[in-house]
Structure 1
Amino acid sequence: MIVGNGPVPESAGAAIALADRVIRFNDCHSFRPGERCDVVAVCNTGRPARAMLQEPAWARHPAVMAAGEIWGVRDPVFFEALRAPLALSHPELDDFCDDGTPGFAAFAAASGKSFRVLDASLHHRVTAALAPFSPPSDYVVPSSGLMVIAAMLEDAPAAVIQLTGFTHQGWEGHPFAAEARLVDSWIAAGRLQRLGMKPTTRAAQA
């Protein structure tokens, strides 16, 4: 179960509880007391990383405390290579590539959690998968949600992977309209389900 930070129906609680793994994002905004969280996927560069690492309340959040894994969605070497081109195309993002990965790694180690950073090669595959869906030419990077969805599709291709809390809206630097169409194509192919939708034949048999 991959739970975005958008609205999650009250009825989703039972399905979330039954999932083998529950993945949430950053500040786990959609988390409700008593719900599950096994993985917290974080933006490990830029302002989001700094905000989480500098705010003691993030480390004390019940979802973060419950999680056994922290995932960084941004390969720091790859993002450092983006610094120069972004300085020309998006000069307002001067701290976008600042690396918070060591801070999350240290937090995970001190908390007895495993730590993973999604590889740059996944970023390239996601970018290629988005291309047929006409993303804006000036988008910055895919969203954390899309990166984690793609990672799970590769990690567990036979699993039933469900989504909830995804509105595919937000920061204009993410190509959300194209991402929504890509995710819909994966759902149509039976690779994903949106919670509450009728399962596809492939997913029901997985």
Structure 2
Amino acid sequence: MKNIIEIIISTMTSQNIALVYILGMCPLIAISTNVKNAKGMGIAVVFVVTLTGIINWPIYELLKTTGTTNLSLLVFIITIAATVQFLEMFLAKFSPKLYNSFGIYLPLITVNCVVLAVSIFFVNRDYNFIETAAFSFGSSVGWMLAIVLLAGIRQKISKNSYLPKGLSGKAIAFIILGILSLAFIGFTGLSIF
């Protein structure tokens, strides 16, 4: 249990997939213009990344037993696309209100590199099923934390008339991400136990 909590906390802070590994930047920059959009995208990413990590682990174990692990990247991509498509159909059928609230964010997750990176990371780290589920959940929550923090700061800064014109928009987002990255790397080495 101690290892699981450490995996979740470290993937949200010192091993944050967005701020330390610099993955998922396209949606992070594009969607983070306001907090509402950032929360919607973040929730969708948490759900999809956790679900695909849990689905991809047994698939990879099956590939290991058959000696076809060189196909894992292709299989992971197909699994991610199928999971997002299935989730989209399921929500449209059984929860139209939730489906409409996700809007365009759900299909966009298919091309978010964070989803594939989590599957590659659990393979490289040789995690078991529970560790993979914890890693997938923690990584996605860490990504959501990064996008919501970025959106909140960008929203606050956009109301400031003192910001030079050359730093508005994406330029200030990159500066904010750099500062947030430094702050999150500062969590390295801390232990809750």
Question: What TM-score results when the alignment is normalised by the length of structure 1?
Answer: 0.28
Larger Rg: 2
Higher fraction of helix = 2
Higher relative contact order (CA 8 A, sep 6+): 2
Higher fraction of strand = 1
Question: What TM-score results when the alignment is normalised by the length of structure 2?
Answer: 0.30
